[in-house]
Amino acid sequence: MIVLKGYLIVGLGNPGQKYKDTRHNTGFQVIDLWSRSLGVHLTNRRFQSRNTLTRIQDKKVILFCPLTFMNRSGQSVRTCVDYYDLTDTEIIVIHDDIDLPVGRIRVVGNGGAGGHKGVLSIIKHLGSMQFPRIKVGIGRPRSGESIEDYVLAPFYSDEKKIMERVIRMAVKACELVVAEGVEPAMNKINCQNLANKEVRN
């Protein structure tokens, strides 16, 4: 066991090229953009994940994408949490949220899974709901698709530009949580609506 004294930032998604640009892989997309902007690569394969250890605001941070598939994400997260002896509040989970419209992000300090199988798996393996989340809105189906088909499909063509801004804002939300804490991040991020073209970021 190693004491990290930092943050584990978990982006949720499914491994494999066919899932790369799907709505359910929004968490992976945030981590991948963040790692590129920091000039780091998720090359480590420990803990059934892609991950890297870096520093942000003089704090140690692990950027982490489980490779266990969504409904077993908690298995991967738990092995890393145990290895670094992390507390619940040192874990930040980024995931898609069907109950938020495209263009919205919500930072929360804790709560239930809201039907999200990846979050449910993490709650089950940690035995706790007391970890912060960055929820990224993906909206609901327009064309009668099943929820399963919808989350495993790419965004509609008119949403893609908005989602580019959303992913950048989700990175900013993570940085705010690390630098200032959950509540300041909530105050700055939760009021944003990036579907409004007048929003600046």
The DSSP string of 82-96 is: HHHT--GGGEEEEEE
Active site residues: 24
The per-residue pLDDT for range 136-184, each reduced to its tens digit, is 999 999 988 999 999 999 999 999 999 999 999 999 999 999 999 999 9
User: Is 13:70 a contact under the CB 8 Å cutoff?
Assistant: yes
Question: How many Å apart are CA 177 and CA 185, to the nearest integer?
Answer: 6
pLDDT at 200: 43
Confidence of residue 198 (pLDDT cuts 50, 70, 90): very low
Domains and CATH numbers, the chain: 6-189 (3.40.50.1470)
Give the bridge partners for 137, in sequence order: 97
Percent of the chain's residues with pLDDT above 70: 96
In tens, the pLDDT along 24-53 reads 999 999 999 999 999 999 988 899 999 999
Question: Across all residues in the chain, what is the average pLDDT?
Answer: 92
* Beta-ladder partners of 63: 9, 52
Q: What is the model's pTM?
A: 0.94
